[in-house]
Chain A
């Protein structure tokens, strides 16, 4: 009897604490007491997550090495040890080469757009269990990051920073339901909003003008916010995959497939300074089809008589 009273008291106390937290959070809407709890926990838990991340990396490396051992066993016994050694090295260089390629792409996009960026690695991914799409990255306020900065990767827009601790930053991805990005169709000036709906491969594009022309394959870039925060202008977002319009609606909507694969992010970068000149469409990837070749005009310094 005494035990069941105790049990009920414990449960009641726990629920009361939780409800107090909910009430505090709702009242201060993400600032104040709950905000400081979050900041403290970020600073405590992030180092653990970083080491867990490197542990995961080594497990994955081990996994690929192990797989290679098994194939090597089928080969000649004498070569086995040598093979193993070489393949282990190969597995590591592959990973390094991939990372280098990603960095190259990042540098290229930042160079073209003249953005000033801080590169970062993703350390933890919100599991998508509750359909909220957030990740944390390994740079923070000490690297000059503040809230509401654009986060890009080699192929386009990733999201924006929402809260910053000393050495970690929380990023809301494009697919997060809270995400809303001002965007326009590349090559035209039609404006609209890109919003997430919890699915990584599909964004919603809402165009203001119901008569605007939009078709499959149209490419979407950010139109940019004032002062480049939260979104800098001219970053590629994605490609239209289907258009939905109904007569009588005030806006037209389209489904957009983002250029960035949001479910497998690794290297990203935070734009700390917006470009002085709007890059417009210069960052969009080249069109998939090649335009009809125009005859090249060769200018030779000394025209020969046969060319006249």
Chain B
């Protein structure tokens, strides 16, 4: 990871946080709202491994918590997302030519995050029916995989474009 890649990481996640409530929340698709932010984190983690995954997750969680219209407890989303990014980096990171893997991983990551948010939602006094939950859970996974179709190539492209893979990067992937 050179400095350009960190700039790319920060700006892609910032863009995702900006477009999440202004674009995707407006689409009013059936079921859940597509979660571009978590897909971004998953794709970075798959491309660059657990360390970058954790950093991306932390950053995304922090921005989700502080950006309007977020009003939840600050710091919770960054804990959850940093752990998800880290876990995805460990399980799914590393060089691979498979294209379906990032899609599946994004779906799994998004549903995991959704699960955590639902649990915290129940804690603050939400009335969530099982039917609603299962619909949102399923659509969340499907939308995330669909978004990853576009996001993953973009991030691998950025990664290739912004400098050669250094020796330490290769090592870190192991």
Pick 17 A–B contacts, CB within 8 A, sort by A: A14-B54, A14-B57, A14-B82, A22-B79, A23-B75, A45-B67, A48-B14, A49-B21, A49-B22, A124-B21, A124-B68, A127-B20, A129-B33, A170-B69, A170-B71, A197-B126, A263-B28
A42 touches B68 (CB 8 A): yes
Interface readout for A10-43 with B: 1 if CB under 8 Å, 0 if not? 1100110111111111100000001001100110
| Contact of A56 with B68 in the complex, beta carbons under 8 Å | no
**Given known A-B contacts A127-B20, A127-B24, A129-B117, A163 and B125 have beta carbons under 8 A apart:** no
| Also in contact, A177 and B126, with CB within 8 A (given A46-B68, A127-B20) | yes
Q: Across the two chains, which residue of chain B brings its CB closest to A9? A: B51
In the complex, what distance in Å separates the CA atom of A171 from the CA atom of B21? 14
Assess A3 versus B171: contact at CB under 8 Å? Given A52-B23, A124-B22, A177-B124. yes
Whole-angstrom CA separation of A192 from B63 in the bound complex: 38
* Interface contact B25-A125, CB-CB below 8 Å: yes
Residues on B with C-beta less than 8 A from A134 are 69-71
Q: Does the CB pair A22–B76 fall under 8 Å?
A: yes
Q: Min CB distance, A186 to chain B, in Å?
A: 25
| Inter-chain contact B82/A18, CB cutoff 8 Å | yes
B55 within 8 A of A: yes
Are A10 and B61 touching (Cβ within 8 A)? no
Task: Report the Cα distance A168→B69, complex, angstroms.
Answer: 10
Contacts of B19 in A (CB 8 A): 52
CA distance A53 to B24 in the complex (A): 11
Is B46 positioned at the interface, with any CB of A under 8 Å from its CB? Answer: no
Decide if B73 touches A26 in the complex (CB within 8 Å): yes
Known A-B contacts A45-B68, A127-B33; A15 and B79 likewise in contact (beta carbons under 8 Å): yes
What B residues does A18 contact at CB under 8 A?
A: 58, 61-62, 75-76, 78-79, 82
7 new A-B pairs (CB below 8 Å) besides A11-B86, A177-B125, A198-B121? A3-B174, A11-B50, A34-B74, A48-B18, A59-B23, A124-B22, A177-B121
Q: How far is the CA of A41 from the CA of B174 in the complex (A)?
A: 37
The CB with the most chain B CB atoms within 10 A, among A34, A135, A165, A198, is that of A198
A225 within 8 Å of B (CB atoms): no
In the bound complex, residues from chain A placing their C-beta under 8 Å from that of B51 are 6-7, 10
B23 touches A22 (CB 8 A): no
Shortest Cβ distance from A266 into B: residue: B26
Contact yes or no, B71 A124, CB < 8 A: no
Chain A residues within 8 Å of B, Cβ to Cβ = 3, 6-7, 10-11, 14-15, 17-26, 34, 37-38, 41-42, 45-46, 48-49, 52-53, 55-56, 59-60, 123-132, 134-136, 162-163, 165, 168, 170-172, 177-178, 197-199, 263-264
Q: Does B100 contact A (CB under 8 A)?
A: no
Choice from A10, A131, A165 contacting B128 with Cβ under 8 Å: A131
Tell which of B74, B118, B171 touches A25, judged by Cβ atoms closer than 8 Å. Answer: B74
- Which of B20, B54, B66, B83 contacts A10 (CB under 8 A)? B54
Distance to closest chain B CB from A24 (angstroms): 8
Within 8 A of A (CB), among B87-107: none
Measured in the bound complex, the distance between the Cα atoms of B121 and A131 in whole Å is: 6
Complexed CA–CA distance, A68 and B20 (Å): 27
Asked whether, in the complex, the Cβ of B126 is within 8 Å of the Cβ of A14, the reply is no
Contact digits for B30-67, partner A, Cβ 8 Å, 1 yes 0 no: 00110100000000000000110011011001110111
The distance from the CB of B110 to the nearest CB of chain A, in whole angstroms, is 10
Shortest distance between the CB of A197 and any CB in chain B (Å): 4
Q: How far is the CA of A132 from the CA of B121 in the complex (A)?
A: 7
Within 8 A of A (CB), among B1-18: 14, 17-18
Closest 7 CB pairs between A and B? A21-B75, A198-B126, A124-B21, A197-B127, A22-B75, A131-B121, A41-B66
Bound together, the chains give a CA A126 to CA B70 distance in angstroms of: 7
Interchain CA distance A60-B25 in the complex, whole Å: 13
Least Cβ–Cβ distance between B32 and chain A, in angstroms: 7
A127–B78 Cα gap in the complex (Å)?
17
